[in-house]
Amino acid sequence: MYGLDTEFHGERTYRPRLALVQCAWPGGCALVDPLAVDITPLAEVLRGPGTMVTHAGEQDLGILEHATGARPSRLFDTQIAAGFVGLGQPGLAELVRRVLDHRLPKGHQLTDWTRRPLDERQREYAASDVVHLLDLYRELSGRLEDAGRLSWALDECEALRVRDRTARDPDTAWWRIKGSRRFRGEARGVAQEVAAWRERTASERDLPPRFVLSDLALAGVVQRKPRTEEELGHVRGLDRGLKPGAARSILAAVATGRELPDSALRKPPDGDEVDGSLAPAITVALAWCQQRAGELDLYAPLLATRADVAAFIGARRGPLAHGWRHEAVATELEELLDGRASLTLADGGRRLDLTRA
């Protein structure tokens, strides 16, 4: 078993730049400088039989996999575990204080970890991110065992471990445009082609996509669908102009998008859009899930988000359709949806009561 954390910067690059790797094991701790040494041998540790203990490890896992080509064979995320024992999903410092009664050093959250050398206080701060992880693991796993929730937490950690973190598909980048679900006709094709051009250009130049074309300008191009550089220049967000090459590329993407056949359009997966008439049912079901989370001493968004409830009600899919969430709440949701149970207000509206037919 080992604790692992990373420091990285992603404000000005397409992919976060790994700046430091912190490792801890029983009786030891090390800071590894990926700017000075090859860290690909770390893959042997990740693929080994040990459990990697981390805190809020979503980004760390993606960065490590990109840097080493490996992911851990086993994972325990202390933030996830905290959500199953009534601690919410706190930051590491807060969790260490509440569980281990220890205060972590402060003051270096905004450090530029790519600068060298790191001073003693920076190194101490970086090490503090991992030296308590194994103690947290022992304490939290004990609490999970006592609550009968260890298997639930491990299932959620496994879902995080195996999550697909492959490179983003440029042709689906348009899904992230605000209001994209409402696009119709040519706007969909233009959105796909221009967003894909932005994504590919950002990857090639190692820049955040917004540095290539702002979100505002992207939405404006989709709305106006310009045919000339003069029309393009009137798009909000492009009032400072573009380099000639970029302008031509955007116009070419717009032209391609206008003619894009429906068969070439990468549409969001079926089930992402929910019938608007189901909104009241989703609201009621979400309220029931939130109450159940409180009764079970679970962090409510961990049990079910509005999107989770919508997916389940709309198509019996998503996280609530299987696993520990189904065990915790979805069976009752199915009874409600099938008319075999009903909800009534109780305690002056402070609580919901489920009555079975």
What confidence category does residue 241 fall into, taking pLDDT thresholds of 50, 70 and 90? low
Q: Are 23 and 30 in contact (CB under 8 A)?
A: yes
Q: Which of 16-20, 126-130, 147-151, 163-167 has the lowest mean pLDDT?
A: 163-167
CATH architecture designation of domain 2-162: 2-Layer Sandwich (3.30)
pLDDT at res. 165 = 87
Global confidence as pTM: 0.89
Task: Please give the Cα distance from 56 to 265 (Å, whole number).
Answer: 35
Please answer whether residues 288 and 354 qualify as being in contact, where contact means their C-beta atoms are separated by less than 8 angstroms.
Answer: yes
What's the pLDDT at 268? 84
Tens of pLDDT along 290-309?
Answer: 999 999 999 999 999 999 99
What is residue 354's three-state secondary structure?
strand
Q: Does the pLDDT at position 321 exceed 80?
A: yes
Distance between CA atoms of residues 108 and 337, nearest Å: 50
116, amino acid identity: R
Give tens-digit pLDDT for 149-159. Answer: 999 999 999 99
Summarize the confidence of residues 45-52 as an average pLDDT.
Answer: 98
| Percent share of the chain, pLDDT over 90 | 85
Whole-angstrom distance, CA of residue 19 vs CA of residue 8: 5
For 135-177, write each residue's pLDDT tens digit: 999 999 999 999 999 999 999 999 999 999 887 899 999 999 9
Residue 243 pLDDT? 74
Residue 17 has pLDDT above 90, yes or no: yes
pLDDT of residue 314: 87
Residue at token pair 């912190």: 22
Task: Please state the domain extents for the chain.
Answer: 2-162, 170-264, 276-356
CATH no., domain 170-264:
1.10.150.80
> What is the C-alpha separation between 125 and 127, in angstroms, rounded?
5
The rounded distance, in Å, linking the Cα atoms of 61 and 70 is 9
- Give the alpha-carbon dihedral of 281, 287, 290, 295, to 10 degrees: -110
63 Cβ contact partners less than 8 Å away, ≥ 6 residues apart: 6, 8, 15, 16, 18
The number of beta carbons lying within 10 Å of the beta carbon of residue 268 is 12
For domain 276-356, give the CATH number: 1.10.150
Place 238 in a pLDDT band, splitting at 50, 70 and 90. confident
> For position 309, what pLDDT does the model report?
95
The pLDDT value given to residue 274:
64
pLDDT category of residue 315 using cuts at 50, 70 and 90: confident
Two domains, one topology: 2-162 and 170-264:
no
How confident is residue 106, by pLDDT bands cut at 50, 70 and 90?
confident
Q: How many helices, marked H, and strands, marked E, lie in the chain?
A: 17, 7
Give me the phi and psi of 348, to 5 degrees please: 65, 30
What gap in Å lies between CA 31 and CA 22, rounded to an integer? 5
Question: Quick check: 272 pLDDT over 60?
Answer: no
Q: How would you classify residue 349: left for phi > 0, otherwise alpha for psi between -120 and 50, otherwise beta?
A: left
The CA distance from 80 to 163, in Å, is 15
Residue given tokens 């709309």 in the structure block: 314
Lowest mean pLDDT among 66-70, 117-121, 265-269, 351-355: 265-269
The C-alpha torsion from 326 through 308 and 83 to 63, rounded to 10°, is 120
Query: Of all helices (H) and strands (E), which one includes residue 303?
Result: helix 300-303
